[in-house]
Amino acid sequence: MKKQLEQIQQDAIAALNAADSPAALEELRVRLLGKKGDLTAVLKQMGKLSPEERPVMGQLANTVRANIEQVLEARKTEINALVLEKKLADEAIDVTIPGNEVKMGHEHPMNQVLQEIKDLFVGLGYQIVDGPEIELASYNFTKLNIEEGHPSRDRSDTFYFTDDDSVLLRTQTSPMQIRVMEHAKPPICILAPGRVYRKDEADATHSPMFHQIEGLVVDEHITMGDLKGALVTLMKSLYGEDAVMRFRPHHFPFTEPSCEMDMQCHKCHGTGEVNGQVCSTCHGEGWIELLGAGMVHTEVLCGCGIDPEKYSGFAFGMGLERMAMRRTRINDLRLIFENDVRFLNQF
Ligand code: PHE
């Protein structure tokens, strides 16, 4: 029996030293020390021994068990350390590997042009103001001298929120003229860019949502010469010193006199023809319409509590998309709204 015990100890220690994983170690523990293990099997034979031998063997069995347990513990510590080491090595981060490139966004050509226009007007002393896109019909129309029944108030052109047509998506930035004049005293000098909405089908030149930039200057002795000066300065700064503009008489209910400003077509230089064909950029017109403008109507000034005997003012409203398209030579409005980065990255 002594031999048997010594053999068990020897085999156990060899097996423990050969084990290389926590699972293998656990399996060994059960096989060596468990109820159905080798050591228990030997101890079960103790009954067959003589009373003198029994304590001696009992002692030896305990020693063997203690030795095995000791080696098991030591091996467990070793294996756990190895496992941890391997895990750390496997999960190590190689900080020298180049990272994934972070793709930066790109400023939209519309914002680039808007920024340029704002910078110019701020330099001329204008203040940038912002106003609501959900507007009252009284601001969008009535206070701008646009009477009930005017075609632009029609439900087929304007998005209304209420059955009584009193709340709508603004169709122009001109209500900002009223919002400013109702509260500020002249001198007034503001620029109000923003979104506007009209029931247009989307095509190459129309979208139900687009952007306008409204300008308003009210002070003593303001004339159409001031209006022309501001707009020509803007156009030359955007399109170059040789840009050619023309002002045409027009009609708006809230300005008097009113005009529209066109820019000579850059493609056909005003001839309306390219290589004997009708110019595709201006459709043979030779000119491209850029904005509406005029002297603020006396009715509108009075309605806002500004004395037209003392003060006069000019206002203009331009389409930002059109300005941006001219500036960047984009020929289809839809490209501006699609936000395809492959397209935007070109600017
Ligand atoms: N609001 C006008 C439009 O949308 C443009 C405009 C603005 C005309 C200011 C005159 C003065 O067509």
pLDDT single digits (tens) 48-99 = 888 888 888 888 888 888 888 888 888 888 888 888 888 888 888 888 888 8
pLDDT(312) > 80: yes
**How far is 115 from 310, CA to CA, in rounded Å?**
34
Question: Is 171's C-beta closer than 6 angstroms to any atom of ligand 1?
Answer: no
Segment (H or E) for 152? none
Average the pLDDT over each of 64-68, 192-196, 254-258, 300-304 and give the range with the smallest value: 64-68
**How far is 170 from 150, CA to CA, in rounded Å?**
15
Instruction: Report residue 114: phi and psi, to 5°.
Output: -60, -45
pLDDT in tens, 162-207: 999 999 999 999 999 999 999 999 999 999 999 999 998 877 778 8
Closest CA to 131 of 167, 165, 172, 159: 172
Fold of the 109-344 domain: BirA Bifunctional Protein; domain 2 (3.30.930)
- Ligand 1 centre to CA of 27 (Å) is 88
- pTM of model > 0.85: no
pLDDT in tens, 201-232: 877 778 899 999 999 999 999 999 999 999 99
Closest CA to 122 of 183, 181, 189: 189
Question: Is 64's C-beta closer than 6 angstroms to any atom of ligand 1?
Answer: no
- Ligand 1 centre to CA of 193 (Å) is 13
Position in ligand 1 atom list of the atom nearest CA 215:
9
Residue 295: CB atoms within 10 Å: 20
Q: What is the pLDDT of residue 198?
A: 95
**Chain centre to alpha carbon of residue 149:** 40
Average pLDDT over residues 123-128: 97
Is residue 192 within 8 Å of residue 173, measured between CB atoms? Answer: yes
CB-side exposure of 300: number of CA atoms within 13 Å?
33
Closest CA to 227 of 250, 247, 252: 247
Question: Is 317's C-beta closer than 6 angstroms to any atom of ligand 1?
Answer: yes
Q: How confident is the model at residue 301 (pLDDT cuts 50, 70, 90)?
A: very high
Q: What is the pLDDT of residue 305?
A: 96
Question: Is 126's C-beta closer than 6 angstroms to any atom of ligand 1?
Answer: no
Q: What is the pLDDT of residue 24?
A: 85
- Ligand 1 centre to CA of 292 (Å) is 5
- Ligand 1 centre to CA of 331 (Å) is 23
Position in ligand 1 atom list of the atom nearest CA 316:
9
User: Considering Cα of 176, then 182, then 183, then 186, what sign does the dihedral take?
Assistant: positive
Q: What is the pLDDT of residue 42?
A: 78
Take atom 7 of ligand 1 and give the residue whose Cα is closest. 317
Q: What is the pLDDT of residue 159?
A: 96
Give the CA distances from residue 58 to residues 3, 34, 37, in Å, rounded to whole numbers and listed in that order.
14, 17, 17
Question: Is 313's C-beta closer than 6 angstroms to any atom of ligand 1?
Answer: no
Mutation to probe ligand 1, out of 170, 171, 174 (largest number of atoms < 8 A from CB): 174
Mean pLDDT of the chain: 90
